[in-house]
Amino acid sequence: MNKFLNKKMNKWMKNLLVAAFSICSLSVSASIEELDRVMIVVNEGVILLSDIKALKKTILLNTKTENLPPDNVLKQQILDQLILEELQLQEAKRLGIRIDDTHLEQATENILKEQNKSLKQLRNELAVIGMSWSQYRDQIRRGMIINEVRNVQVRRRISILPQNVASLASQLNAKNRETVEYRLSHIQLQLDEDADKKEQDAVATHAKRIVTELMAGRDFSTLARVSSKGPKALGGGDWGWMRLEEMPTIFSDQIENNVKGSIIGPYRSSVGYHIIKIFDTRGLQTHVVTETKVRHILIKTSIILSDAGAKYQLQLIAQQIKNGDKTFEELAEQYSADFGSAVIGGNLGWQAPEIYIPEFKDKIDTLLKGEISEPFKTEYGWHIAEVLDRRQADYTNTEMQNRAYRMLLNRKFNEEAQAWLQELRAGAYVEQVGNLDENS
């Protein structure tokens, strides 16, 4: 019974939509040629003849004629696409998704850059195919809205497990290292398997002491000649260049996820303790990032504190620091509205600059070590910042994890997007009420 009522209601809605549009078209004058008409009813919306013609013009603009399918196939593809677009636009309307003019302008500029065209060239091309600039902008806006609603609805259907990311990242790492060569040096402290506890403890302590000295900058080859019982001890422990498959297993098992400059160990084998240093690599794709250690003080505006007032307050704070009246830490704890960092003197720790919002990143990128910025504004309020230090950090493993996550997300997104569109289409009321062949 409910299905019967729904069909009756849909039929009534379709008739109402068609009639309403027809009345609007005819009310101006019965003698005026009809400029537009309803071709397809989609739920409570319609697809007009002008929509079909506009999409066909866009296809002609972006595709060479010889690459187009036969006309009857193209017509059906256009109808299918417009139906899916209309369903997604209806979903976007339900969710309140809109694209403002600022974002539309940015998208248009990006299109011009990608196509290496000027605005004048694009307008001229549109004029040739009979498309107005407003029609073109409307299509861009529609596309942006559709992308946004699809991202919102499909992403909530996707679940990516950390173990799946780790597994794929491990595979990518292995692939990345297949042709990599390592320049290794090695120190071996001999220890028999049947050694008593006293001897075991003494050798373990010696091995840890060597690593401590290496970390402090002691020359590896010198320590290898003095302490190592390994086969390359006389040469300072240098094993030269080797690929993973060429190394002894006691080396290759420890190399994974380590990079140039890494000191590995001490670790135990049947012959004693080992310490390895990776002096160099070649053929390895690495991702090195400059990390910055920053501290800041944030003042937020309010009903009683204007932008000018917040800026002036920070200028006074900065002057106190420069005069030596108070320290940065003291003033951050006293005044900063970023409570998480205020309790530790405004310190944000070691971070890759990309983690910050653009306005903050751009400011700290221009600061010298130890320099305090002038007050600057972000979406969070007004800041002063100081760069405490910079260092190079290897983000190869992080980048590989990110790459693995993106690959899994893209795979699942495409699968779920198709399923979501099929569900939308299956649950929709769609009826063709106009003859496309008469109007093409």
- Which CATH class for the 288-394 domain? alpha beta
Average confidence (pLDDT) over 45-52: 91
CATH architecture of 180-282: Roll (3.10)
Task: Answer yes or no: are the C-beta atoms of 252 and 177 closer than 8 Å.
Answer: no
User: Would you say residue 33 has pLDDT above 50?
Assistant: no
Q: What is the pLDDT of residue 437?
A: 66
Q: What is the pLDDT of residues 229-277, one digit of tens each?
A: 999 999 999 999 998 888 998 998 898 767 788 999 999 998 999 999 9
CA-to-CA distance for 252 and 233, rounded, in angstroms? Answer: 19
Q: Tell me the mean pLDDT in the region 138-163.
A: 93
Point out the least confidently predicted range of 77-86, 128-137, 424-433: 128-137
- What are the sequence ranges of the domains in the chain? 37-157+432-438, 180-282, 288-394
Query: How many C-beta atoms lie closer than 10 Å to residue 385's C-beta?
Result: 23
Predicted local distance difference test score (pLDDT) of residue 222:
94
The lowest-confidence range among 6-15, 241-250, 387-396 is 6-15
Count CB-CB contacts under 10 A for residue 251. Answer: 19
CA–CA dist 62, 57 (Å, integer): 9
For the four alpha carbons of 316, 321, 322 and 325, in that order, the dihedral sign comes to positive
**Which of 58-62, 121-125, 197-201, 234-238 shows the lowest mean pLDDT across its residues?**
58-62
**How many residues does this entry show for the chain?**
440
Q: Identify the pLDDT of residue 436.
A: 67
Please give the Cα distance from 223 to 154 (Å, whole number): 58
Q: What is the value of pTM for the model shown?
A: 0.56
- Per the prediction, the chain carries an average pLDDT of 87
- Are 180-282 and 288-394 the same fold in CATH? yes
Q: Regarding the domain delimited by 37-157+432-438, which CATH topology (the fold level of the hierarchy) does it fall under?
A: Triger factor/SurA peptide-binding fold (1.10.4030)
pLDDT in tens, 121-136: 999 988 888 888 998 8
Helix (H, G, I), strand (E, B) or coil at 236: coil
